[in-house]
Amino acid sequence: MLDESLLPSNISLKLFQQLLGRYDSLIEFISLTKGPKSGQKTLLELDRFRYHDAITLFHSEKTRQPMTLDNVKTLVDWKLRHGKFRPTLMKLVSSNDETVVEKTIQEAIEKYRENSDAPKALITISKLKGIGPATASLLLSVYGPDNVIFFSDEAFYWLCRGGQASPIKYNAKEYQELGTAAHSLIQRLGINAVDIEKVAYVLMKDDVSEITSSDRKESPTPDAKPTKVESSSEQAKRKKNDSGNIMAVDFLSLHDPDPIPLPDRFAKIKRKLIAGNEKAVACSFYRLLSQLRKEADRIAAAGSDIIPTIDYIDIHNPNKVAIFRDALRKRGVAVIRRVVPSNVALLWKEETQEYLRHNPPTKGFPAHDPQLYEMFWSPGQVRARADSRLLEVQRFVMNIWHSNNESALVSSNHPVTYADRIRIRRPGDTSLASGPHVDNGSVERWEADGYGRAGTYAKIFQGRWEEYDPWDSSTRLGVTPDLYNSVSSCSMFRMFQGWLSLSPIAPGAGSLHACPMLQLTTAYLLLRPFFTPRAKSGPNFLHADNWNLNVAQNSVVHGAVPGRGVQELSRALHPHLRLDKTMVPVPRVEPGDYVLWHPDAVHAVDTVHMGLRDASVLYVPACPLTQTNALYLARQRKAFLLGLPAPDFASSAGFLRGGSGGEREYMGRPGVQDVNDAGGEDGLRSMGLLPWDERRGVTRKVERELVRLANGILFPDRFDFETGRRAVKRF
């Protein structure tokens, strides 16, 4: 039985939004655990069509596109997979004549648009074979998503039966009852019908008891540290699936103690990784647990103060730089203050907001209230990436890396741009929350064709984690971090992920959290799947004596799932990391401050933005010049020149080749001259718009070879790759 606070007449907007934020993770979990038959679309793909593609096609007054029989069948397929499966329904629907379908639905929609009388429109649509009031309401709802509610079991149970499952007749009278209840809730909370459907689905399908419990408690103060709230069944958090828009990452539940078994081949992978080194791996794991205990206590005592910071004006001060670099190597996360003046950062934000206001609505996440925008070429974004100060800081931090292979084709002295998005997160938001995770792959960290190709973590699997060097760039060049065409993959090698703050951001107000013990967390998450506790609870649960190396390895890889694109961590799956104590927020930042973290650093985002103003950031990673990065840069340059989404984000941004999408027609979109004005030749080179000069600032032979290779990739028709003598000055 539902808690009273969850009943439609009592639910608050805050609680409604919390529940709405859980819908995508629930759908992804169901889609993952109940995969499609061969040739079928996944539930996740169908859900995207129902809540994004179909609404985009049919809701707009401008398109007036007729609904085809194929469109109807896709929506019916979603209905059957999303709710109760009725084996004969699809056969009946498919038997309709295509022309009759288009004509009947168009007639119903015209009636609805004249007088907004949904029941009458449903009567017309229900003339089609296999289409009753429930399915008819689904078809009508994509034309009127704000006010027309789909007659789903879950919505009817919640809105009309107090959350109790009871027999439904699926007649016009019941739909009238449902529509009246939905309209009342729409009016009271200022929400829309499709969001009501999603919340009803969560309430009827998910465990929401802990949300109602936390909602009764006193609201946290703006400075309080938020507490993550997730359900025990929440196996997957948001990714590129919110109505076709992109979310940064997806996560397993922090409270779920049972990891997902993977195919049997992963047991073989695990056995092969440590074959012949079993004793050394076991001993190394126990040494690791001892160090983790000490370091976790140190971090818990220091809090945010443990994260190193340095001022931009001090990056040439040898004494301060030495201290900062040592701390960054150990912690894997840092803040560089005042990289650009505060007024400049605020101007970039204003330019971006102006760009948003004067152009067509830009897609973003969440779809109903965009705050993470699928936008890449606004004036503020372009100016920031080309800014000489930001490029200088990127060179500075990337030179913390080194290469143990002298012939490795990588240069930290030639930063290249990776075009990412902008986030303008509003106070009270919960949709952009994310749990502890590491980007750039999941199971790939254990697979021979993933990180194994470069031997990135070989020392750890040999039982010598102390010798593992997180800062050796040569072990990253051969990595394939995305073996499964994941939705959240990055095609560039990023030495640092990062964002430039465009507003003041305090801990708890939309800030980043990180676990600042880089080498230890990497070693632990990689070795954890090889060990099992004897006792699953008790005062000695974390003690080394309670943990044994598995004699026969199973297929579990804690927190990793093929195709996720991220390695997920939790208190239940990775208990020795003590994430409740070691995940600390970065110190308060001001506009113009630059936050950076190692690609293997465990990080998260505030569950609730409890500040009083928006938390705005530009995502600006630090990427070195490599052959792979140059190849991606060539594709990204084309996207910039044509106003298309950056290559890694093209599908999530809704771009269709030869169709709509991107910023091609946007007023005020910057061009090559704007990049030159913002950053001169260095800015142009970072965008692939001007060849690098192999004679300037290139001291090593291998670096000169890389520069010539990159110029050949980027300027094949205008650059003599053999001699390097015919470089053009402008793209």
3-state secondary structure 120-154: HHHHHHCCCCCCCHHHHHHHHHCCCCCCCCCCCHH
Those residues of the chain that have pLDDT short of 70 are 1, 32-35, 38, 60-64, 206-258, 487-488, 652-661, 697, 718-731
- 254 inside domain: no
Model pLDDT for residues 4-23, shown as the tens digit of each residue = 889 999 999 989 988 888 88
pLDDT at residue 251, as a whole number: 33
| Whether residue 289 sits in one domain with residue 367 | yes
| Whether residue 481 sits in one domain with residue 378 | yes
Long-range CB pairs of 395-400 (<8 Å, 24+ gap) are: 396/315, 397/328, 397/334, 397/336, 397/495, 397/496, 397/596, 397/622, 398/495, 398/496, 398/622, 398/624, 400/325, 400/328, 400/329, 400/471
How many whole angstroms separate alpha carbon 135 and alpha carbon 75? 9
How many whole angstroms separate alpha carbon 190 and alpha carbon 210? 25
Structure tokens at 248: 């940064």
Q: How many CA atoms lie within 13 A of 86 on its CB side?
A: 14
Number of domains, the chain: 2
Element housing 680 (H / E): helix 672-686
Pairing of strands 623-626, 547-549: unpaired
Domain CATH for 442: 2.60.120.330
| Whether residue 288 sits in one domain with residue 192 | no
pLDDT at residue 169, as a whole number: 86
CB 196 within 8 A of CB 151: no
Helix, strand or coil for residue 335? strand
Rg over CA atoms, the chain: 27
How many whole angstroms separate alpha carbon 121 and alpha carbon 116? 9
Strand ranges in 460-522 using DSSP code E only, listed in sequence order: 497-501, 512-514
| Whether residue 611 sits in one domain with residue 528 | yes
| Whether residue 283 sits in one domain with residue 206 | no
| Whether residue 278 sits in one domain with residue 193 | no
- 44 inside domain: yes
| Whether residue 342 sits in one domain with residue 206 | no
Residue type, 66: P
Burial class (CB in 10 A: 0-12, 13-18, 19+), 59: middle
How many whole angstroms separate alpha carbon 408 and alpha carbon 706? 9
Helix, strand or coil for residue 568? strand
DSSP state of 36: P
How many whole angstroms separate alpha carbon 461 and alpha carbon 446? 9
| Whether residue 509 sits in one domain with residue 411 | yes
- 527 inside domain: yes
CB contact set of 711 (below 8 Å; sequence gap of 6+): 691, 692, 694, 719, 721, 724, 727
Q: Could you tell me how many residues make up the chain?
A: 731
Element housing 711 (H / E): helix 701-714
pTM: 0.67
Which domain, by its residues, includes 120? 4-216
| Whether residue 458 sits in one domain with residue 335 | yes
Last residue of some domain: 216, 236, 251?
A: 216
pLDDT at residue 654, as a whole number: 54
Phi/psi at 281 (nearest 5 deg)?
-65, -45
| Whether residue 47 sits in one domain with residue 119 | yes
- 476 inside domain: yes
How many whole angstroms separate alpha carbon 271 and alpha carbon 255? 28
pLDDT at residue 463, as a whole number: 97
pLDDT at residue 342, as a whole number: 95
- 723 inside domain: no
Element housing 616 (H / E): strand 615-619
pLDDT at residue 33, as a whole number: 65
- 467 inside domain: yes
Angle between helices 278-302 and 518-527 (to 10 degrees): 140
